[in-house]
Structure 1
Amino acid sequence: MLSHSEDYNVYILIPIHNNIAETRKCLSCIHNQTYNNYEVVVIDDGSTDNSTEIIKNVYPDTTILQGDGNLWWAGALFMGIEHILKKADDKDFLLILNNDVTFDEIYIETLINCSKDSQNTIIGSLCIDSETGKIADSGPIIDWSKLKFSIKPLIDDNKDIIEGLDTLSTRGVLIRISIIKKIGNFIPEQLPHYASDYEYFIRAKNKEYKLIMSKKAVVFSNSSTTGIHYLDDVNGIKELYKYLFSIKSAANVIIWLRFTKLCCPSKYKILNYLRIIGRAFIASIIIMFKLKINKIKLITKSV
């Protein structure tokens, strides 16, 4: 048993939109925790699979906030944080979870113990792909000169934490309420979905808060539930438009331009604006060429 104090209240935020089966697995993990001083807040952004009703029946102590389907990730977190800040003390914690993650029974306890080493640290969770067993996230590293994102290699250095990170994802991250009050809330009007977590924790780092990841606080994520669109899946003009401009797409040009404006060091901004637009142009050329080749194949086949 880990040593810990349950003087801290942990507010757990879980945005959802359908996928009730995954949500129930996550909630089950929470209710099996050795750390019991927590409150679960689910933000249901317009689910159509009776998520709210099922959660109320199975886990009646859960607080459920309702969206209309237009909150997206950052909007749901904004709503949840505003709700929590009305009653949380500075010493308390916020734990943000994806609804598709699972974890062991000492997960929260491990994060709390890790937080004791520093008042100015935000702690992420090592993420494993539940389907492949491979590391999905061991901490983001950003090369702004190339606008390249990678994960920090996991080194067996006898340390329980991973340091030197540029940002964090929200697939299991613990933040002190006092820190949230100083860095502010998410900005859904600028970044409604993708890149909103990266922007938030870059903002925290710029305010001198340390970002680390715990090797012992592990979450298992179901990658098949992601809404990311891949260029290889684009087979038409309409799909190309969605790939470049849909909120559901991780390649959304507008979102990346906004993210660069908010986060990129000044000396790389213009270069990365051009790089983002250039990548969109190249993607368009590739798809147009692909469509033309497919059309030629159809004509040849019909002759």
Structure 2
Amino acid sequence: MDMAVILTFHNRKNKTLSCLKSLLHQTYVENGTIQLECYFCDDGSTDGSSEQIRVQYPKVHLTYGDGSLFWAKGMFKSLSKALETKHDFYLMVNDDVDFYPDMIRTMLESYYEVESKAPLVAIVGSTEDSFGGNWTYGGQIWNKQLIHERYVPVLPEKPCRECNMSNWNCFLIPDQMIKNIGSIDDYYEHAKADNDYSNRIILSGNKIYVAHKYIGICQRNSINNTWRDETLSLKKRLEYANKPIGLPIKSELHYCMKFHGVKWPLWVGKRYLWIYLSWIKHVIKERIRYNDGI
């Protein structure tokens, strides 16, 4: 059985190499159950990542960007290279995951457990933190409500549970699904491409299931010094929001117009209104605390 691993990276040499090592030392790879082909996109790294990969792992297929691809376009480029050759499965991963040795086994066993429950199924792997074993990324249930929007994590268990939204820290797609649904939408500047593909899977009448146990360790990304950081000034938060890795309007418009119908202006407005409202709330709290201190 043949599996292609899709990954993009930028200046995270130690994480990228550690991730690659964990992939190549999977139980199913070492015992010959799976033939693994790795397709990595180096988006303008200057830390010697690609040079090290070429020396240590010359069979890895490398493509290159100039630093402007970010995640969505980098993943698209890697997947495009992989699609030049027939593979049974495509495994989307992030290099910040420390994969357990039985990750591929867990993903495939989960796939075969549920493959008959829909025309086509994809499997999302769940990660946990290294401190208390708490869920960090994986599958979620999105309630699709404008006012009271919620994303509720779907924890791994047997039998596998269904979800309708997924993070691509570890995401397994069968070949036929990509043939039917298509590739990653590379219009996005960074994020949203995994949410986009999740929606496309569900809208096409297919399903996403959560693998039946955790597949690795991955810490949650910090919100410090991002557009979500309520301790920053409004100017600074808007500045971060406009960066490709923030909440760029081009990507938000594209996503909302694709999946929110005639209500897309409300969904776009909601994202940016939250920044203003949360900033006002923080300012009021700080003022109250200051006055109480006096």
1:60 to 2:61 alignment? no
Letter of the structure 2 residue corresponding to residue 129 of structure 1: D
1:178 to 2:176 alignment? yes
CA distance in 1, matches of 2:71, 2:161: 26
Q: Deviations over 1:34-58 (max 9, x none)?
A: 2221111111101111110111122
CA distance in 2, matches of 1:61, 1:131: 35
Q: Secondary structure at the match of 1:232?
A: coil
Q: CA deviation at 1:28?
A: 1.5
Q: Map 1:68-217; keep pairs closer than 5 Å.
A: 68-89=66-87, 92-117=88-113, 118=115, 120-146=120-146, 148-154=149-155, 159-163=158-162, 165-189=163-187, 191-217=188-214
Aligned to 2:32: none
Quote the sequence identity (%): 22
Aligned to 1:272: 267
Aligned to 1:5: none
CA distance in 2, matches of 1:213, 1:129: 17
Aligned to 2:14: 21
CA distance in 2, matches of 1:103, 1:260: 33
Structure 1 moving runs of 4+ over 6 Å? none
Query: CA distance change for structure 1 residues 261 and 131 in 2, over 3 Å: closer, same or farther?
Result: farther
CA RMSD of aligned residues (A): 2.8
TM-score, normalisation: structure 2:
0.83
Aligned to 1:255: 251
Q: CA deviation at 1:284?
A: 6.0
CA distance in 2, matches of 1:279, 1:103: 35
TM-score, normalisation: structure 1:
0.81
Aligned to 2:218: 221
Q: Deviations over 1:104-147 (max 9, x none)?
A: 22211221222224161100001112355311135222222236
Structure 1 segments unaligned to the other structure (5+ residues): 1-7, 298-303
Aligned to 2:49: 51
Q: Secondary structure at the match of 1:161?
A: coil
1:31 to 2:29 alignment? no
Letter of the structure 1 residue corresponding to residue 161 of structure 2: I
Letter of the structure 1 residue corresponding to residue 93 of structure 2: L
CA distance in 1, matches of 2:39, 2:249: 32
CA distance in 1, matches of 2:214, 2:280: 43
Q: For the Cα contact (< 8 Å) 1:243–1:252, is it kept in 2?
A: no
Query: CA distance change for structure 1 residues 225 and 59 in 2, over 3 Å: closer, same or farther?
Result: farther
Letter of the structure 1 residue corresponding to residue 171 of structure 2: V
Q: CA deviation at 1:254?
A: 4.3
Q: Deviations over 1:61-106 (max 9, x none)?
A: 21111111111111011111111111114xx100011001012222
Q: CA deviation at 1:283?
A: 4.9
